[in-house]
Amino acid sequence: MLRNLVFAGLLVAPPTFAEKILYIGDSHSVGLQTDNENFMGPKVFRALESDKHTVSFFASGGARVSDYLWEEREAPQPKGLTKRESNLAAEGSARFQKTLGEPPIESLGKLLDSSSAHGVVINLGTNAMGLIQKGRTSELKKDVDDMVRMILAKNARCFWILPPPLSTKKLSASRQKTLSATIEEAIAGRCEVFRSAERLKIEPGSDGIHYGKEGSNTWADAAIPEIRKWIGASRVATDPNPGHR
């Protein structure tokens, strides 16, 4: 059965491709329950897998951008509060496990090498609240710039999910804007950006930071179509501003 599309006299085949995608995140992506599919990280993971992409996933509670750069900066390996990671060699529920305790955070370099990723989805930034409160935006800019440079050096593309709305008791509205703006300024057009705070009109849970099942599900539903659109775009990863700092 012919399933090609004819448009303006041209024969256009429907896209058939599979990408290798790496997803890295913090506690927003870990998920509240091991079997909870309707949570930001797990839902994105399963959505991309259903599209036949190969998805490597690593998220650590409490992780900052700088924590993923420890090996490249010759710093001690940091530990997270909890983690969730994929194991492509495993079967069933073991393929996507959650670990409690203080598991070590893997380095971005190793994650890029082991995944051979064509694209990286980054859901980080909330744990830079302390830097923003102390006015140390230049540190966050350097962390983001270093991460983006590492990804582009591997000829991969990047998609950055900016922090979602937080309680103003945790971080004032103006500082939340500064947090997202600082990350986006450091990215400097080199990654696709999902502006979570502009897209979500929901409140975080009782801790003022994290979202419950319904809120996280809403967040994932908003981001997934944009991630799919980004994956489908046939662009070559290049650094348009090599002198950026």
Q: How many helices (H) and strands (E) does the chain have?
A: 8, 9
Number of domains in the chain: 1
How confident is the model at residue 95, as a pLDDT? Answer: 79
How confident is the model at residue 35, as a pLDDT? Answer: 57
How confident is the model at residue 39, as a pLDDT? Answer: 84
Q: How far apart are CA 27 and CA 60, in angstroms?
A: 6
Residue 156 lies in a domain: yes
> CA 88, 215, 188 angle in degrees (round to 5)?
70
Classified as helix, coil or strand, 17 is: coil
Residue 1 lies in a domain: no
The answer to whether 58 and 83 have CB atoms below 8 angstroms apart is yes
Residue 201 lies in a domain: yes
pTM score of the predicted model:
0.86
How confident is the model at residue 17, as a pLDDT? Answer: 67
CATH code at 135?
3.40.50.1110
Residue 2 lies in a domain: no
How confident is the model at residue 6, as a pLDDT? Answer: 33
Residue 12 lies in a domain: no
pLDDT in tens, 115-137: 999 999 999 999 999 999 999 99
Number of CB atoms found within 10 A of residue 146's CB:
18
Q: How far apart are CA 199 and CA 219, in angstroms?
A: 8
Residue 136 lies in a domain: yes
| Domain extent for 178 | 19-92+99-232
Q: What residues in the chain have per-residue pLDDT under 70?
A: 1-17, 32-36, 93, 234-245
Residue 245 lies in a domain: no
Which structure tokens are listed for 25?
Answer: 């995140």
Angle of helix 108-115 relative to helix 137-153, nearest 10 degrees, comes to 20
Residue 157 lies in a domain: yes
The answer to whether 229 and 193 have CB atoms below 8 angstroms apart is no
How confident is the model at residue 9, as a pLDDT? Answer: 36
Q: How far apart are CA 245 and CA 234, in angstroms?
A: 27
DSSP state of 191: S
